[in-house]
Amino acid sequence: MKIPGSPDEREAFYWDIVTRCLVSRQDRRAHYDRLRNYFLFGCAPESSQALFNKINSHMDQLTAFLFAADTTRFAIRLGAGVDKATQLPMARPLVSRLNDKWEDSNSDIIFSNAVTWSLVYDSMFVKLIQRGSETMPFLVESANFGVLREDVPMLDRQEAFVHVFFTTKDQLRRDLDLHPKKEILLARLAASRKMESELPAGVQRIIMSTLYPLAGQMTGNAPAPLANEDIYRPRTSEELVEMYELWLWDDGVASEDKKRQRMGGYRCVTLADPSICIYDRLAYDPESKDGRQMFLQGEHPFTQICPNPAYDYFWGYSEVQKLTRLQDQREHHMSQATELVDRNVNPPKASKGMWGAVDEKNLALQKMNALISSTADPTAEVKEFKPSVPSDLWQLVDRDDAMFDQASALTNISMGRGEVGVRSKGQTDSLMRAASARPKKRALIIEDSLERLATLYVKLDKAHNKDPMMSEPLDDGQKAEPFLAAQFTDDFMAKVDAHSSSPGFMEQQTDEVLAMFDRGIVDGDAVLDVMHPQNIQALKIQYKRMQEARQEQAARQEALQKAEAAGKIAGKIGGGAGGVS
């Protein structure tokens, strides 16, 4: 994009870009609220909470299959033109630091939540913020994000995108302490207080329906639950200011005059509502006076997680959306079955030849050891009308559950259940490989986002971490030397080691590495890296000592055999010489 030169024109230009990026935000927020309610309560916002929320448990199972935070490990793949002899000894310490930082910064928890809610909505984002030498991840929901072109998939292909967030007025005043125009900006600032209504959700819907009635006339009464079941919403009494962080690609300025020439790259603009430009700077400025950079050159801090991408829609598809009708149908069948059982336990009754208050007699019939007085009429009786309960009453519910599993490609084998006719491990492994093909496709999509995030971790560590590390030589003859992360090559990419982020791959990878170990292709260190047991570093040291002990024992055995062979040869030579004399 070409950025205007005048400050007033820039501010208007930036606000216009923000408005265009957020053109669908309100519609998407209403859609996301509906999906959120189905995920948490198994029903639409205008309905009562489901008796059993199948969507929630189903999504929990699917998320556990697509991403496992406890087994995720990373590796570094070097570029084709990199000198492996000099860079590989530095790669392993960097991988160890990456794995440690990944867990210490709670990135495993953040990414797990991102996967779950990206299946609920359609996309989620993880934003990295650098604080000194530490990299901090933050979760950004898609309702607070916007892109310039929703018909273009993938965030890296967008010319501009915006992140909406809130800050308190006092925090913003502290953030502006060093700003040269602090007083002018605060004078222009209009704080927007994020108020939460104290009315229940049902009453709010009634009020809104009177203000914005539906087209046509509604006839009859519709039950509307007035209790607000969706209580998992943050509330605050602080005055909050709505902020916009706009990222756009600046084409730069090409000029023969070196003073006017400026390279292109991402530009980060911070605005406050309404359309007040607070900061406007390049994310990476090589001409920065203090040398501090907002982010890496040519990179932005956002990583999109979209398990169900679409070729013509940036946000992708929601997994919960295709399960909402099934949840409604399952709840309907549950209600039918429950009502039938209740009518069988407490059926309608008819009394004959009995005098007195009917309600009193009906109440007495509900109690144990009740005595009901009647007239001397010998034909007096109480007749029950019990409906017949079919033996396959719950088959419809079981069929609905099977349709849930089929919709998300989950089978009995993949969920740890037994399968009829399957007895051997070979049969189970074959069925597991065939059944996990569809979920693996989405697991690999999630893995791509995970690898981009891990690569940014290493790049930020190279740029900001000055703590030395010790190299790990490939050969025993080499010596370990200290080095800094900045000395590592820029031609690399962090990869998920052996697809360890998905349980669907782990069993297969374990079998393969054990088979290679039995054939002597890999050593015990490789097996430990794949299986990653507890106290892996201590186990590697123990394995190294075991190898050294085996080598010493083999050397002694070989020396003994040579000595025995030499003694036998000497004996034969001595015996032969004595016979000749």
Q: pLDDT of 178-224, one tens digit each? A: 888 888 888 887 544 444 444 444 444 444 444 444 444 445 555 55
Residue 87 phi, psi dihedral angles, 5° rounding: -95, -30
pTM: 0.80
pLDDT reported for residue 135: 94
pLDDT score at 375? 61
- Check if the beta carbon of residue 189 is closer than 8 Å to that of residue 276: yes
- Which residue's structure tokens are 């932005």? 300
Q: What is the pLDDT of residue 551?
A: 86
End-to-end alpha-carbon separation of the chain, Å?
105
Over the range 519-550, which residues count as b (16 or more CB within 10 Å of their CB) and which as e?
Answer: eeebeeeebbbbbbeeeeeebeeeeeeeeeee
**Do 513 and 522 form a contact (C-beta atoms < 8 A)?**
yes
Distance of CA 274 to the CA centre of its chain: 33
Residue segments in the chain with a per-residue pLDDT below the cut of 70:
190-230, 253-263, 355-356, 371, 373-377, 409-437, 476, 498, 503-509, 534, 568-581
Q: Which of 232, 197, 218 is nearest to 37 (CA)?
A: 232
Cβ-in-10-Å burial (0-12, 13-18, 19+) of 496 comes to buried
For residue 226, what pLDDT is reported? 47
| Residue 474 confidence (pLDDT) | 77
Q: Where are the beta strands (DSSP E) in 134-231?
A: 134-141, 145-147, 160-168
Tokens found for residue 178: 């060093």
